[in-house]
A and B are shown apart, each in its own frame.
Chain A
Amino acid sequence: MYISNYYLIFQCYPPIHTLNKNCMNISIEKKKFSEAVHIVARFAQRKITTLPALSSILIIAGDDGIKMRATNLETGIDFKLKGECTEKGVVAISALLLQQIASSLTQEGKIILEHIGDIVSITSGTSKSSIKTTPYDDFPSIPFPESSKNRIVLPGSILRSLFTTIAPCASSSTVRPELSSIYLSIEGGILTAVATDSFRLAEKKVPLTNKGIQGKFLIPAKNALDIAQALPNEDIIMSFDEHQCAFISNDGMLVSRLTNAVYPDYRQIIPKESVVEAIVLRKDFENALKRTIIFSDLFQKIRINFDPKKNLFSFFTRNADIGESIETLPARISGSALELSFNHRYLSAVLSLTGSESISILAVGIGRPLIIKGVGDTSLLYLVSPMNQ
């Protein structure tokens, strides 16, 4: 219930200029303060070369409590924190500076921020520091998705793990913006997240409680990672329109720009049938992979082999300068014998995507991608393209 209240409050947020400008007095618990600064500072621009307001954190003390805001024009945050407000006001302080102060705070107790003229004094216990503020007139407003129909509720912890596991599979190059984004689609009560860098593809599904909503959008993977770090564990509202998406919780709101591009129809590259399947223990797979890749060459090539007769699955690497290594692990293999080469980084990436005890590896043939799934984990589908030789 409280969430939806917040949503309303945000919509009729009092404009900054009605607040008292050059006078503010608030006191916050040190621990709360430093937590908030660490979360919010991530959203400020890291380079100080452009507009100073963008590399600052805006602290607002108003009727509805104390808030911190930051944006780098890709993502934005509006974070609520508990504290006492004796005098309302607004101030912008360099995010880097606040971060350094916050990480140096020790002991329990409160911290008092006082704004007089263009100086903010921070008093904590016996120490007092005065900081020059940056002009906040230039601080941009944080846009909110226009239509409120596209809203889903899900636990923040689930979304966080979804974003952090799948985002590394997106492309780091910005040449194709759609590939450096995570594709999220909501259909039939299931949230599907897909990321690919055109060499491998990861698809993960999460069931939702409210079923009626449909929609799809692309969120830049970099932004998704930033947002994931700031998401709380409890339920959040995810709301989106054509250009923006927002994540609303009791702690505040996070927004991100969306990628405005068409995502390739990835479903058609997922092979429908397979010629061989191997089921191996995750622990075996992980250890064997770790040992074998010591010997991998410049191209990070690793060869895998399915042996259905002996029920063995093996890894092989060779480096002309160091030597070679072969690891064989017991597996349940059904189908025909096959040998394929991969980039080992793409194989080990699957381990962070699924938590299941054993994994199933399906191959379609030479030159065709490999499918990896967690046994008993239907939420994940991972596709790796083989190497050319």
Chain B
Amino acid sequence: MNKGDPKELWEYVLTQIELSISPANFNTWFRNSFIVKISEDGVVHIGVPSQFFKDWYLKKFHTLLLKIIRDVSYEFRNIEYVIVKDENRRLSKEVKNVRGALELPLDDFYINKSDNLNPRYTFDTFVIGSFNNLAYAAAQAVLARPGITYNPLFIYGDTGRGKTHLIQAIGNQYKKQYPGQKVFYLTSEKFVVDYTDSVQAGTANRFKDKYRHYDLLIMDDIQFLSKKERSEEELFHLFNALHDMNKQIIFSSDRSPIAIPDITERLKGRLASGMTIDIGEPDPESRMAIVRKKAASHGVLLSDEVIEYVAVSMNGSIRELEGMVNSIICHAQVKGFAPDIMEVRQSLRSFTRPQKNISIKNIVDKIAEFYNIDEESIYEKTRRREVVRPRQIIMYILREDFHISYPTIGTKLGGRDHTTVIHSCEKIKREMVVDSELEKEIQNIRTLLV
């Protein structure tokens, strides 16, 4: 027997006790108890359901229990009895009410006001796939040692990839693991509004204090902070204060910290100073898992065929995927059975949308505008310096980001030879390595094109 394992120890204790007391006594007093933990100084904590049990254990069974565990090992010095929380009690199974409950439960209205977290977002409902398992692992690491392992944790990814779900789940789990610690979730937009309000009301100091006492601060959609200089500065100071006190901070954004436009350098650096993780596009298997889980949570069982069709035919965000599943579930509830593949195909027609296309002309427009030059001059044969550079950058971006062939780029940009294009791309690539200004310019251009 492994005497360090509470479960095994308790089982041994039970077998010994069963021999020395009557079955009725045993069933009454020992069925709902268990060892909660064995502390390092050798005190065994036994969890009991109520005060009745605690008193009676102390009065009747204490010496017997002590003798039994002492026989196991002298390391055990004492026994203490604790009354366990009701959620931890083992409850008898009960028959579920089969009457179709159509009432909306009041719970759904819940958003906890003190921490802003939506209790619906938990790790139980979070689907882990290859696209987000790194982010999930980082979240677990943060929960294990908040404020120390990865601080700040920066999670980014396109809309509808489950960023908000993940960071709120961290918040909810943190609350469970560290009761008494203060968690706060907010969006950056809320932060800005809060700040401007406090400035208006002349209570900027209270604003500072309010955010500084949280043990875990979660800020969603940080990209909306761009161009709001005062709020950025306030966040910068808040960040420093929290980081100095080893308080965990979590950010999310739709792009990496470097790619957020119009945000001060010092804040950018700090955002990226901890752990930066990208949630990629979910692979088809993960999408299928998400569809299945979502449908199952509403009590609808979909056939594998339908799940696969839904997961494959939609390549948008998880949010859209959920919308689609919701519409299927709605159909199922109205008709009373799960729809087959034909019906699903029919009902999902409305969800399919045309692929988003960016024309070369569009890109040329944007970049010419960025450099403040005439768009026509890009197509011309001119070799003026202020035109040549943007032209090369256009070529580079068309090649790198949009994978257009060299000859096509050449012909589209005023009938140039493909070797010219190759040369331009290589040149920009080379220069970017050494010239950080250029790199920043290109990053800024990329954000324009998203």
Q: Which residues of A contact B (CB under 8 A)?
A: 50-52, 54, 71, 73-74, 76, 138, 140-143, 173-175, 177-178, 196, 198-201, 242-244, 257, 259-261, 264-265, 268-269, 298-299, 301, 342-343, 346, 367, 369, 383, 385-389
> What is the CA–CA distance of A239 and B101 in the complex, to the nearest angstrom?
39
Q: Is the CB of A369 within 8 A of B106?
A: yes
Interface check B209, CB cutoff 8 A:
no
> What is the CA–CA distance of A54 and B53 in the complex, to the nearest angstrom?
13
For the complex of A and B, list the 9 residue pairs with the smallest distance between their C-beta atoms, beginning with the closest: A177-B86, A143-B51, A257-B50, A51-B28, A73-B52, A261-B86, A388-B102, A244-B51, A198-B105
B 401-419 contacts with A by CB, 8 A: none
Which residues of chain A have C-beta atoms less than 8 A from B24's C-beta? Answer: 50-52, 138
Identify the interface centre among A71, A74, A257: most chain B CB within 10 Å of its CB.
A257
A173-B105 contact given A244-B51, A257-B51, A260-B83, CB 8 Å threshold: no
Q: Is the CB of A265 within 8 A of B113?
A: yes
Interface check B85, CB cutoff 8 A:
yes
Name the residue of chain B whose CB is nearest to the CB of A180.
Answer: B86
A367-B52 contact given A260-B86, A268-B110, CB 8 Å threshold: no
Name the residue of chain A whose CB is nearest to the CB of B29.
Answer: A51
Is chain A's interface secondary structure helix, strand, loop, or mixed overall? loop
A143-B55 contact given A50-B27, A174-B94, CB 8 Å threshold: yes
> What is the CA–CA distance of A369 and B49 in the complex, to the nearest angstrom?
36
> What is the CA–CA distance of A387 and B111 in the complex, to the nearest angstrom?
21
Q: Is the CB of A388 within 8 A of B103?
A: yes
**What sequence of 0s and 1s flags, for each residue 7-48 of chain B, a beta carbon within 8 Å of any chain A beta carbon?**
000000000000000001101100000000000000000000
Q: How far is the CB of A222 from chain B (nearest CB, A)?
A: 13
Name the residue of chain A whose CB is nearest to the CB of B179.
Answer: A262
Which residues of chain B have C-beta atoms less than 8 A from A198's C-beta? Answer: 105-107
Q: Is the CB of A387 within 8 A of B91?
A: no
Choice from A242, A259, A385 contacting B86 with Cβ under 8 Å: A259
Q: Is the CB of A386 within 8 A of B86?
A: no
Which residues of chain B have C-beta atoms less than 8 A from A260's C-beta? Answer: 83-86
18 further A-B contacts with Cβ under 8 Å, apart from A50-B28, A385-B106, A388-B104, are A50-B24, A51-B28, A73-B50, A140-B52, A143-B52, A173-B94, A177-B86, A177-B91, A198-B106, A201-B106, A244-B51, A260-B86, A261-B85, A383-B106, A385-B104, A386-B104, A387-B102, A388-B102
Which residues of chain B have C-beta atoms less than 8 A from A265's C-beta? Answer: 112-114
Which residues of chain B have C-beta atoms less than 8 A from A367's C-beta? Answer: 104
Q: Is the CB of A174 within 8 A of B50?
A: no
Which residues of chain A have C-beta atoms less than 8 A from B213's C-beta? Answer: none
Which residues of chain A have C-beta atoms less than 8 A from B266's C-beta? Answer: none
> What is the CA–CA distance of A225 and B100 in the complex, to the nearest angstrom?
28
Interface check B371, CB cutoff 8 A:
no
> What is the CA–CA distance of A265 and B115 in the complex, to the nearest angstrom?
12
A299-B102 contact given A260-B84, A265-B112, CB 8 Å threshold: yes
Q: How far is the CB of B95 from chain A (nearest CB, A)?
A: 10
Q: How far is the CB of A272 from chain B (nearest CB, A)?
A: 12
> What is the CA–CA distance of A382 and B110 in the complex, to the nearest angstrom?
18
A140-B105 contact given A174-B91, A264-B110, CB 8 Å threshold: no
> What is the CA–CA distance of A178 and B27 in the complex, to the nearest angstrom?
26
Q: Is the CB of B25 within 8 A of A243?
A: no
Which residues of chain B have C-beta atoms less than 8 A from A142's C-beta? Answer: 52
> What is the CA–CA distance of A5 and B100 in the complex, to the nearest angstrom?
54
A175-B106 contact given A257-B51, A259-B86, A260-B84, CB 8 Å threshold: no
Name the residue of chain A whose CB is nearest to the CB of B53.
Answer: A73
**What sequence of 0s and 1s flags, for each residue 56-94 of chain B, a beta carbon within 8 Å of any chain A beta carbon?**
100100000000000000000000000111110101101
Identify the interface centre among B25, B55, B103: most chain A CB within 10 Å of its CB.
B103
Identify the interface centre among A52, A74, A198, A342: most chain B CB within 10 Å of its CB.
A198
